Amino acid sequence: MQIFKRISILSAAALLFIATPSYSQIFKNTDSAPQGAVVYSLPQTSIRVTLKVSLRNFSAGPYASFSDKYLGVSAERSSRKSCVIEEVEVTPLIEADQNLSVALNMGNSKNASANFLSLCSQGLIVAPGYITPDNVQMRFPSPVQPAFNEAVANLATQTTQLYKSVTNEDGEVEKIAVPQTQTVAKSAEKKAEETAQLIFRLREKKIDILTGDTDANYSGEALGSAVEKINQLEQEYTSLFLGKTTVAVQQASFEVVPKAKNAKQNYVVCRISDSQGLLPADNMSGRPVYLELAVTEGKISPEASAEEIASSKGKVAYRMPLVVTARLTDGQSVLGQTRIPVYQFGKICYFPLDLALGK
């Protein structure tokens, strides 16, 4: 378990017996830790937001403009893409604050570990470099472009009557018809008309099968299979008028580390594009998803000053979290809201080193 892992790391360090005078001080991680000291970190909260979205790609049918005329139904004539949020999960994680560490030398005391075990089990101190272990999976499948299968042939045979003049035996000029046959491409409307006729014939055939008004004898599985096949063909042909929609699912996690010094606690978690799906926060081609942190009780404590760090010698430092309300929004829509503890918003507290040493 995560908490027991933290306890084992710190309790082992806390039981080191170093025959030097005891002391404790906060220091920046850019500074080197005093030799022989036990080093632990103050915790901070990172917020992981996991989103699952569906990318919907609608392609208008090639015969959409003839749908009213030949099928009697209206069809959308413009293709479009959209991205819809399906699921949202917000998870607070504890990690070591890289800006604040504590060097502690407990001398040769044998009773110093109890307070550290208690602070560690409550998450008020953590091991240096600690971060909540978790497996994060990211899925970014490529959207599938819908394809239409023509129901009728693209070419047709067209016969044209030509005339040529000939002189008969009496010396009179006559016009004689000369038919000329050629292959031409059908117009979109002609193909739409023939496809609509196929759709209606399929519907008539299905009714004949279901009512038994057919020369073939369908029963049991054969009946179901025949009707299913007709339905598939009808759906495929109808999509040439009404269009097709494909759906691809994306899932990804994004993390935000709140900063106590920010005047407004609003963060862009990620961005969403109707054509590309989930995007990182710095990609300006999508609309933003915001994480808003609201303090309902108490107030955010300022970061530790140089004077506070200097006066921390001889004291054991730990950090108490501040509980805030986290709200995730997409434009004007609230996707979810929950309460989470944010350690870097809370106070840094101290107790005398003598108490940790059991004196």
Q: Over the stretch 289-348, which tens digit does the pLDDT of each residue have?
A: 999 999 988 899 887 776 776 677 777 888 899 999 999 999 888 999 999 999 999 988
Q: What is the per-residue pLDDT for 6?
A: 41
For the segment 234-253, the average pLDDT, to the nearest whole number, is: 93
> Taking CA 343 as the corner, what is the angle to CA 340 and CA 344, rounded to the nearest 5 degrees?
125
Distance from C-alpha of 163 to C-alpha of 166, rounded to nearest angstrom: 10
Q: What is the per-residue pLDDT for 240?
A: 94
Reduced to 3 states, what is the DSSP secondary structure of residue 121?
A: helix
Whether this prediction's pTM lies above 0.75 is answered by no
Contacts of 169 (CB under 8 A, 6+ apart): none
Distance from C-alpha of 226 to C-alpha of 207, rounded to nearest angstrom: 12
Angle between helices 188-211 and 221-242 (to 10 degrees): 160
Q: What is the per-residue pLDDT for 356?
A: 57
Reduced to 3 states, what is the DSSP secondary structure of residue 318?
A: strand
pLDDT digits (tens, 9 = 90+) for 252-293: 999 999 999 998 999 999 999 998 999 999 999 999 999 999
Q: Where are the beta strands (DSSP E) in the chain?
A: 23-27, 38-59, 80-105, 155-167, 173-185, 244-256, 266-273, 277-279, 287-294, 315-319, 322-330, 333-342, 348-352
Q: What is the per-residue pLDDT for 331?
A: 83
Cβ 345 vs Cβ 320: under 8 Å: no
Q: What percent of the chain has pLDDT over 90?
A: 43
Domain ranges in the chain? 2-52+87-145+248-356, 155-242
Evaluate if residue 248 carries a pLDDT over 50. yes
- Continuous segment of H or E residues that includes residue 195: helix 188-211
Identify which has the larger pLDDT, 183 or 255: 255
Closest CA to 192 of 61, 311, 348: 61
Q: What is the per-residue pLDDT for 183?
A: 83
For 124-133, 135-144, 179-188, 214-223, which range has the lowest pLDDT when averaged over its residues? 135-144
Evaluate if residue 2 carries a pLDDT over 50. no
24: which strand partners? 104
- Continuous segment of H or E residues that includes residue 19: none
